[in-house]
Structures are given as C-alpha cells and as structure tokens.
Amino acid sequence: MAFPYLQDLVRAATGLNVPLPLPTFGLCVVVAVLAAIYVARLELLRLYGQGRLGDGLTKGLGKERASEIPATLTNFLLDFTVLVVLAGFIGARIASILEVPREFAIDPWGMILSRQGFNFLGGLVLGAIAGVWYARRRGLPIRVACDAFAPALMLAYALGRIGCQLSGDGDWGIAANMAAKPGWVPAWLWAQTYAHNIAGIVIAPPGVYPTPIYETLMCLALFAVLWAVRKHPFRPGWLFALYLLLCGLERLAIEPIRINPRAHVLGIAATQAEILAAVLAALGAAALVTLSRRASPTRAAQNEPDPLPRRR
C-alpha cells in the first residue's frame, strides 16, 4: 500500500477523511533536509571550536561578539542548504532524464515537470559541485567542510527514501522471488504491490522488493558509522572519503534488485546508478588510502569532547 498524500496516511491510520493534500514525498524531503541541517550544524560548531574552520565565516567578530558565532554558522548553513538542494534537484532530474532519453524525446516537458524521476547520485554530484563552490566563496577549508557534511548527507538520504516508500514513486525493486524468502522475514518486507501509488502503476501480486525500506535501513546504519568515527585522527577529508566509499557500495549493493534501465558500457551491462556508484566508491577508496596517514600530534589532540564555540 502506498500513501501519496498525507491524507491517505491519516485515513489508513485513523479511518478519518481529513483533507490534507500534502505529498508525503515532499514532507519526507523537508524532514530529511531539517535533520541534515541539525546534524551539520553540530559538526560545524564542533569543528569551529577546534579552530579547524578558519575565520572566513566569522571574520570581523571580536570577543565582544563571540555569542554571534552560532548564529553566523547557522545562517551560512541555511544559505548553503538552499543552494545545494536546488542544485541537487536539478542534477537529480538531469541524471534521471539521461537514463531514459527516448522517453524524454517523446515528452520533454512532461519529464522535466514530473514529480517522479529523481536520481540521487546525479543530485549528489551537482549538489557537491555547488556546495564546494559556495564553501570556497565563504572562505571555508573545503576538505574540513566536506567532513562536516558527510554524516548529514547519509542521514538525509536515509530519511528521503522513506518518502519514496510512502508515495510509491517508482523507486522500487524488481519482481520479488517469494521462493527465496526466509521464513523469518515478514511478507511485507519481502514484497509489496504499492497499491494506489503516485506513479499510477499497477503491480501484480506478490509484488516487488520494497527497496526504499532496505536503503533506509542500510543508510541509517551507515550514518551511525560515520557519526561514530567523525572524530577520527586522520587528515581533513578522510570522513568525506569514507562517505563516498560507503555511499557507492550501498548503491552497488541495492542496484541488482532495482528496476533501473541498463546500458552496455565497454561490453558490461550496468545501470547509470551503478556506473556513478562505482566511480564514487573508487574515488572514496583512493582518497581513503591517501588520507589515512595519521595526523600530527597537534591535530590528533583536537579529538576531544565537543567544545563550545571558540572565543577569541
């Protein structure tokens, strides 16, 4: 069962017909963005307290205005988020269109304006480019800033996938093999038909793999890993490299049971998401090898409980 709008979810939970025509996917995206902002703000404050963000954002604030530092970081984060989210949506739409060029040629405006068809990896690439540009413009050290946003990005993806599951936007898996289902796995966790989904697609029983659920669970676990190791003693950029590796491996793990169209590249049949995920994983692995050298004692000493914003 899918719940494209909030009123559908309320009706299923309570039996009440309350007019709430708010898309569940959009609501989940909002929650994901707010959660990411909260987590990223915690990391920015921690890193600023350790003196690792430089003075680009707080230049001109003296000791008497030190109390304004959290607000300054928050304002930067809000501007940064708006830019990255907009760039991410554009990148996700472009990558989605590139997956189905024939359909785009038939109905270009329909695909551009559709509420379906967002490729997260495409959004990640363009969003990252926009984020790096803005962080550099505001005087932040890029690799440290990337580390600050790594756990937040993984959390946002996990929560955003809940919206895909609730709305039934087409980001589900291939037909489920019920014969392979372990006895301890509930049927709803193995196969769903997404009745009344927002994509308007009828799925024959027993259904397809509910891959958004799997991705939410995997990415919540990966967020926990990133959060646990965020005070690593390695060089700046190490945590973001780990994020890229985990993000790529997670997508490579789920793609074999998803329904994305496959293309032949160098004789290999792969989806666009698999290609992008492989590139991200390779970049992350290479960066991890490069950055895994232990930091200097001075840098390692900065791994301490989260302090209050630095006062000057």
Helix H, strand E, coil C: the string for 31-87 is HHHHHHHHHHHHHHHHHHHCCCCCCCCCCCCCHHHHHHHHHHHHHHHHHHHHHHHHH
User: Would 16 be classed as within a structural domain?
Assistant: no
- The pLDDT confidence band at residue 309, using thresholds 50, 70 and 90, is very low
Which backbone phi and psi does 265 adopt, to 5 degrees? -120, 115
**Length of the chain, please?**
312
Residues whose CB falls within 8 Å of the CB of residue 290, separated by 6 or more in sequence, listed in order = none
For the segment 229-273, what is each residue's pLDDT rounded down to a tens digit? Answer: 999 888 999 999 999 999 999 999 999 999 877 766 667 778 878
For the segment 3-60, what is each residue's pLDDT rounded down to a tens digit? Answer: 999 999 999 999 999 999 999 998 999 999 999 999 999 998 888 888 888 776 666 4
For the segment 54-77, what is each residue's pLDDT rounded down to a tens digit? Answer: 776 666 454 445 566 777 777 888
- The pLDDT confidence band at residue 305, using thresholds 50, 70 and 90, is very low
User: Would 259 be classed as within a structural domain?
Assistant: no
User: Would 212 be classed as within a structural domain?
Assistant: yes
For the segment 112-153, what is each residue's pLDDT rounded down to a tens digit? Answer: 666 555 666 677 788 888 888 988 888 888 999 899 999 999
User: Which of 280, 289, 290 is CA-nearest to residue 127?
Assistant: 280
From the number of C-beta atoms within 10 Å of its C-beta (0-12, 13-18, 19+), residue 311 rates as: exposed
- The pLDDT confidence band at residue 100, using thresholds 50, 70 and 90, is low
User: Would 19 be classed as within a structural domain?
Assistant: no
Return d(Cα 74, Cα 68) in angstroms, integer: 10
User: Would 267 be classed as within a structural domain?
Assistant: no
60: containing domain: 24-175+189-234
User: Would 247 be classed as within a structural domain?
Assistant: no
User: Would 254 be classed as within a structural domain?
Assistant: no
Number of domains within the chain: 1
* Amino acid in the structure at residue 23: P
User: Would 256 be classed as within a structural domain?
Assistant: no
